[in-house]
């Protein structure tokens, strides 16, 4: 699906004039401006790669990005921030090519832009286990296995519907499935990856059969409970504080 990308000026205005922009997760904390308001254990610089000799250590980068993204998921302007991160300049390139915006890393935003411009969509590589076995993602998968409606899934996972939609979209991509994958396809892939036990999946009337990761299963007929609720369909982010603050 081709996404509608805003120009950078419009996207930035939409973000910065939002009535809740001041409450963004990456804003400086009122008591200690060196840390982020959304998580005071994080420095406000966590959304951008540090300028260090030899580059940032890979494990440190992963940890920093994961922590920053967790804050983005609860941010009141996440959707506007994603749109800003996906915005393009006159040359058709990302207006903000570095950093995390709206819960997406710069690499993810670049890849999304490249995919969008390819005639044939690029195959999505499944993510490694450690990226899928987070507490929140496993909670979401258990909830999705037990419920079909978006509201019930979100409630069972202990999160609001927007956050549940974000997890759904993220997990779908990380399982190597297309964004349009149905509930049944997501659950089947999760079972195949060992993230869920097959008996945890409530499937009525058809059973979920494990499938190979990266291959679209076809025999499931469940409605996609969260179709149309995907935050990532609205799109990409990038460097936060340096640009948006």
Binding site for ligand SF4 (CB under 6 A): 24-26, 38, 47, 71-72, 75, 77-78, 81, 100-103, 237, 240
Which residues fall within 8 angstroms of residue 169, CB to CB, at 6 or more apart?
179, 230, 231, 232, 233
Nearer residue to ligand SF4 within complex by CB, 69 or 208: 69
Nearer to ligand SF4 among residue 21 and residue 140 (C-beta):
21
Burial 180-199 (b: 16+ CB within 10 A, else e): ebbbbbbbbbbbbbebbebe
CB closer to ligand SF4 out of 112 and 191:
112
- What is the Cα–Cα distance from 202 to 169, expressed in whole angstroms? 20
How big, in percent rounded to 5, are the helix, strand and coil portions of the chain? Answer: 45, 5, 50
DSSP state of 126: P
> In whole angstroms, how close is the CB of 17 to ligand SF4 at the nearest point?
13
CB of 73 to ligand SF4, least distance (A): 8
Closest approach, Cβ 32 to ligand SF4, in A, equals: 17
Smallest gap, in angstroms, from Cβ of residue 75 to ligand SF4? 3
Under 8 Å between Cβ of 84 and 96:
yes
- Complex with ligand SF4: residue 26 or 175, whichever CB lies closer: 26
């Amino acid at each position: 699906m081709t996404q509608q990308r805003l120009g950078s000026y419009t996207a930035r205005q939409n973000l910065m004039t939002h009535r809740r922009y001041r409450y963004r997760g990456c804003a400086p904390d009122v008591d200690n401006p060196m840390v982020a308001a959304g998580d005071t254990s994080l420095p406000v610089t966590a959304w951008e790669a540090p300028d260090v000799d030899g580059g940032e250590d890979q494990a440190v980068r992963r940890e920093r990005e994961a922590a920053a993204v967790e804050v983005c998921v609860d941010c009141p302007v996440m959707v506007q921030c994603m749109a800003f991160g996906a915005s393009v300049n006159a040359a058709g390139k990302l207006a903000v090519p570095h950093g995390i915006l709206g819960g997406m890393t710069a690499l993810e935003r670049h890849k999304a832009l490249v995919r969008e411009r390819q005639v044939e969509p690029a195959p999505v590589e499944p993510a490694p286990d450690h990226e899928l076995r987070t507490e929140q993602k496993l909670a979401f998968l258990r909830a999705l296995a037990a419920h079909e409606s978006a509201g019930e899934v979100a409630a069972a996972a202990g999160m609001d519907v927007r956050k549940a939609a974000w997890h759904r979209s993220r997990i779908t991509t990380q399982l190597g499935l297309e964004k349009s994958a149905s509930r049944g396809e997501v659950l089947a892939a999760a079972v195949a990856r060992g993230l869920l036990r097959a008996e945890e999946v409530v499937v009525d009337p058809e059973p979920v059969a494990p499938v190979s990761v990266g291959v679209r299963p076809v025999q499931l007929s469940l409605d996609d409970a969260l179709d149309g609720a995907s935050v990532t369909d609205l799109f990409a982010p990038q460097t936060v504080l340096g640009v948006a603050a």
